[in-house]
């Protein structure tokens, strides 16, 4: 298993896909640096991982703040001496029709879903370039592959991540820095994303959809582990994942 001994940063680690991925990678022998805004949840997760003989530390991080991302990467490097993987997983999904004009929520999605990814890349890229290795993994969405009514701005942020990651992969190959990328496009996965929806009709429809089709975030965690486990000369750059029963 190539995961063993690798240093992995996970943002959005306090719940959902981030939490599930942390637990799985810890079992595979990774050294984890867990990042999120909610310190109490990070403490609990680190304690659980250590109780199961895993290795993890945490760093309270707001991905919308450039300095927080820089400090996170510096902390990881100081703690473990290197960084092999960064999983940029933090995101929100307060979906609504454009006509609802929830402009504040649009800006929050842009700040977290796009700028949060950019800030993470900016923080870790100098190190990855210097060491001529590294792996950037992001959580996009099936809404980053096709258009869904009610998800215009959310989808736009996830389309942006898709393009950003594809260009990062191409440029790293051209520049000879050997940086691997993987973008994950989940469909209905049980996380806290639904909790961010304030539009009543959208929340009602999405809740019904997830109740009927949603699957465990463990399923996505296994894909992250698969991507990391590939040999250094293999880059599997995109994964679309969702419930077998969901016609996404």
Catalytic residues: 154
User: What DSSP designation does 189 have?
Assistant: B
Residues 188, 95: contact at Cβ < 8 Å? no
Burial class of 129 by CB neighbour count within 10 A (0 to 12, 13 to 18, 19+) = middle
Q: Which of 53, 16, 40 is nearest to 32 (CA)?
A: 53
Q: What is the DSSP string of 173-187?
A: HHHT--EEEEEEEE-
C-alpha 235/C-alpha 36 separation (Å) is 27
Q: Which of 206, 212, 208 is nearest to 193 (CA)?
A: 206
Q: Which of 178, 168, 184 is nearest to 88 (CA)?
A: 184
Residue whose structure tokens are 């994950």 = 184
Q: What number of CA atoms fall less than 13 Å from residue 238's CA on the CB side? A: 17
Any residues with CB less than 8 A from the CB of 147 and at least 6 apart, and which?
155
């Amino acid at each position: 298993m190539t995961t063993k001994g690798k240093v992995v940063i996970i943002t959005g680690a306090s719940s959902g896909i981030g939490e599930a991925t942390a637990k799985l990678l810890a079992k595979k022998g990774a050294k984890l640096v867990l990042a999120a805004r909610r310190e109490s949840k990070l403490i609990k997760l680190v304690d659980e991982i250590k109780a199961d003989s895993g290795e993890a530390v945490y760093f309270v991080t707001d991905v919308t703040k450039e300095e927080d991302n820089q400090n996170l990467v510096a902390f990881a490097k100081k703690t473990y001496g290197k960084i092999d993987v960064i999983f940029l997983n933090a995101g929100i999904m307060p979906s609504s029709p454009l006509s609802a004009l929830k402009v504040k929520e649009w800006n929050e999605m842009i700040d977290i879903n796009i700028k949060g990814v950019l800030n993470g890349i900016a923080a870790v890229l100098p190190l990855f370039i210097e060491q001529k290795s590294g792996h950037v993994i992001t959580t996009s969405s099936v809404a980053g592959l096709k258009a869904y009514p009610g998800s215009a701005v959310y989808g736009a942020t996830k389309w942006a991540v898709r393009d950003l990651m594809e260009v990062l992969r191409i440029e790293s190959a051209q520049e000879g820095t050997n940086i691997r990328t993987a973008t994950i496009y989940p469909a209905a996965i049980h996380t806290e994303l639904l909790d961010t929806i304030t539009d009543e009709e959208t929340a009602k429809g999405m809740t019904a959809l997830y109740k009927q089709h949603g699957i465990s975030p463990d399923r996505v965690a296994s894909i992250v582990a698969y991507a990391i486990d590939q040999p250094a000369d293999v880059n599997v750059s995109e994964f679309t994942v969702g419930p077998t029963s969901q016609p996404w």
